[in-house]
Amino acid sequence: MRKVDPCNILLKLNDVEKIYSVAGESVVALKKISLEVSFGEVLAITGPSGSGKSTLLHIMGGLEKPTRGEVKLLGDSISSMSDSNRTRLRRESLGFVYQFHHLLPEFNVLENVLMPLLVAGICSKDEEEKAKELLSKVGLSKRTKHLPSMLSGGERQRVAIARSVVNAPKLVLADEPTGNLDNENANQIFSVLLDQAQENQSALIIVTHDLTIAAGCSKTITLI
């Protein structure tokens, strides 16, 4: 169990709800969620398929707007920010591991890992070395020149994990990042994410069905 300083709030959700409207019908994706995540905290989100885990992660990262409630990240309300400020906040302070990777097919593995820095226009030799080191930590040092289409599902997931931490984000949001991995690789990837969180003094929020991973987190919330 990790120790957490409760005064050191990084992310705060206040009565957040998400309701989609589909063909005139309301779909309640997320019911009134309030929570706080501190720097250094590792939070697991569990729950059955369709319980709103991905929706919650997208709202936490400013990728979707809540229907009601407020999301504060690093002290700012992301629900009421301009699109450009929200994009900048995401680029500078967040790392995201999407459930379905979202690697760019025309770029090789190393370029995909460097993408958050390339789009921010801050990619130096040092950054490239860091990306290579991360690829080595996730066991892909021999795949840097491969295109995503040449990789297995688990390898693509590991590239996405390296990409999520390359910019030393304050918060990493990972949506079932070990879903396609065997136990050994899942544990290794989880420890890479934990090490990076510690190194960057950041928080990690991880959607997972893996009880061993949830047990390694400081807190678990279960959606129903």
Ligand X SMILES: Nc1ncnc2c1ncn2[C@@H]1O[C@H](COP(=O)(O)OP(=O)(O)O)[C@@H](O)[C@H]1O
Where along the sequence are the contacts to ligand X (CB under 6 A)?
A: 20, 22, 27, 29, 47, 49-55
By CB under 5 A, what part of segment 144-203 binds Mg ion?
A: none
Shortest gap between Cβ of 45 and ligand X (angstroms)?
Answer: 9
Residue 51 contacts which entry, ligand X, Mg ion, none (Cβ below 5-8 A, type-dependent): ligand X
Q: Which does 49 bind (CB under 5 to 8 A by kind): Mg ion, ligand X, none?
A: ligand X
149 makes contact, choosing from Mg ion, ligand X, none, with CB < 5 to 8 Å by partner type, with: none
Torsion angle in degrees (nearest 10) through CA of 208, 213, 215, 219: -50
Residues in the chain: 224
Least distance in Å: CB of 8 to ligand X?
28
The distance from CA 123 to its chain's CA centroid, rounded to whole angstroms, is: 21
Q: Among residues 8 and 99, whose Cβ is nearest to Mg ion?
A: 99
CA dihedral of 15, 83, 206, 26, whole degrees rounded to 10: 50
Tokens of 198: 């510690």
The Cβ of residue 143 has, within 10 Å, a number of other Cβ atoms equal to 18
Nearer to Mg ion, 53 or 86 (CB): 53
The reply on whether position 54 binds Mg ion by CB under 5 A is yes
* Contacts with 165 (C-beta within 8 Å, 6 or more apart), sequence order: 95, 134, 172, 192, 193, 196, 200
- CA distance to 45, 102, 111, 149, per residue, from 106 (Å): 32, 12, 10, 9
**How many C-alpha atoms does 218 have within 13 Å on its Cβ side?**
19
Which segment (2-10, 48-56, 144-152, 214-222) binds Mg ion by CB under 5 A?
48-56
- Of 55 and 202, CB closest to ligand X: 55
Shorter beta-carbon distance to ligand X: residue 47 or 69: 47
Nearer to ligand X, 51 or 67 (CB): 51
Query: Three-class SS string for 43-70?
Result: EEEECCCCCCHHHHHHHHCCCCCCCEEE
Residues engaged in binding Mg ion (CB under 5 A): 53-54
